[in-house]
Chains A and B, each alone.
Chain A
Amino acid sequence: MGRLRSLLIPGVDKRLLVRDAGNLMPDPTRRRFIAGGASLGALTLLTGCNVSDSFSAEEMLKKVSKFNDAVQAAIFNPYALAPTFPESAITKPFPFNAYYELDDAPEIDGKEWKFEVRGLVDNKKPWTLEELYKLPQVKQITRHICVEGWSAIGSWTGTPLRDFLKLVGADTRAKYCWFQCADSDGYNSPLDMETALHPQTQMTFKFADEILPRAYGYPMKIRVPTKLGFKNPKYVISMEVTNDYKGGYWEDQGYNSFSGS
């Protein structure tokens, strides 16, 4: 209590302070972490365990999720390639999926857009789309698997991220490449370095041999066929090479952070 009291500022209305703090909190509808009192109640009845203290259940589940991150990192084989498919297997139409409607997807002017590179890299020069298009590109036809369970096969063309990391002199001993995007609410996602260096992890500029359409992340998405879809950020505007875990849009809400396939 003593510590709490020392945090109060003389002359500041406590209630107003709390209300302001509340306004800074994220949208509560997206924070329905272990909500659903009915389900928890049902569980209590079925098991006879006291799980009504959802806070401790949530803490326990978060710890297991961190443990699962470590397990997945340990079994991740950097040489195992995601299965590839023939052109005939491509899903048509390939689904658009986001937490907003297509009409609300970022509309980016490719001439204005710059890809910023920050953190533990030698060359922090921002990249224009024209410059990025000149880098050697490869095509992959792989399965995109959504955290929701559905999957779709798509064709993506772009520059292997590991080539780009080498080009800008990134410290590949760092733990993460942290991507930030132009989506409303500022989508972002951390990618562990081992996965960033995987041969199929790609800075994608084309879908089905055409310039990446707005629906799939124009002008650039990061295609990671060894991760669930939400770890494949679209409308990417910057990358930071870092040792700090900076969280991510969905990761912060409870999706497992590694989410490897």
Chain B
Amino acid sequence: MSSLAVSDRPAAARAKVIQPAWVRIVHWINAVAMILMVMSGWQIYNASPLFDFRFSASITLGGWLGGALLWHFAAMWLLMVNGLVYLTLGFATGRFAKKLLPISAAGVISDTRAALTGKLSHDDLTRYNYVQKLLYAGIIVVGVVIVLSGLSIWKPVQLQYLTALFGGYDVARYVHFICMALIVAFLVIHVALALLVPKSLRAMIIGR
């Protein structure tokens, strides 16, 4: 690097950008939208629980069912519009193909083993390892499924073919819940690892 000519510096600086601005903006809008959706969703769940438990009022949003529904059906626009921007730009810029593919079973197994034995390198944040590729690609799919199952619960008559695709209204509720659980599990791992590798968090804030 020390041999680089002065004129090459801007190019070098540009190359160092790990997370482009659009990714960072969309990421943090999504973070806010997801938290609003999950917390209001827990309050909605409490009105008619699918399982033998309720979420504590201290971690829910909206105060009661009506308030939670208002939050949920407001934040859904943020989530959907932002999500569509992310998917469009992800495909159009080639980011998905470049960053998330290919995913091989052998790669995932060897990287998981390396991660668990503390041997997985995070020196190059511009390249995702196979575990990251799998989780990031997977959570995009979960994100799409949670929106579609949500739409099929919201509009089981107008979007009845979508609802039928999920196996009917009652099954769609379970799908919606399971996707929420997967997202929360992802969030726990994602935040824990971001704190373990702080420069990755820095990259998602200032880009490098």
Chain A interface residues toward B at CB < 8 A: 32-36, 38-40, 42-43, 46-47, 49, 60-62, 64-65, 68, 75-77, 80-83, 143, 145-151, 225-226, 250, 253-256, 260-261
Chain A residues whose C-beta falls within 8 Å of the C-beta of B164 in the assembled complex: 83
Please, which residue of chain A has its CB at the minimum distance from the CB of B56?
A: A38
| Cα of A80 to Cα of B73 in the assembled complex, Å | 23
| B69-124 interface with A by 8 A CB criterion | 69-71, 73-74, 77
A-B contacts, CB under 8 A, total: 114
Chain B contacts for A80, CB-based, 8 A: 157-158, 160
Does B169 lie within 8 Å of A39, measured CB to CB?
A: no
**Residues of chain B having any CB pair with chain A under 8 Å:** 32, 35-36, 39, 43-45, 47-48, 57-67, 69-71, 73-74, 77, 153, 155-158, 160, 164, 169-170, 173
The distance from the CB of B134 to the nearest CB of chain A, in whole angstroms, is: 27
Known: A36-B63, A75-B155, A226-B157. A147 touches B74 (CB 8 A): no
Known: A43-B35, A65-B70, A149-B45. 5 other contacts (CB 8 A): A33-B67, A34-B63, A39-B57, A254-B67, A261-B155
Decide: A64 and B73 in contact? CB cutoff 8 A: yes
Q: Across the interface, do B66 and A250 meet the contact criterion of CB distance under 8 Å?
A: yes
A181 to chain B, nearest CB (A): 19
Given known pairs A34-B63, A64-B70, the reply for A149 and B173 (CB within 8 Å) is yes
The reply to whether B65 and A32 contact each other, CB–CB distance below 8 Å, is no
Report the bound CA distance from A235 to B45 in whole Å: 29
Which residue on A lies nearest to B154, using beta carbons? A261
Q: Do A149 and B44 contact each other (CB < 8 Å), given the known contacts A253-B66, A261-B155?
A: yes
Contacts of B169 in A (CB 8 A): 143, 145, 151
B170 near A151: Cβ-Cβ < 8 Å:
yes
Given A42-B59, A149-B48, A250-B66: A256 in contact with B160 (beta carbons within 8 A)? no
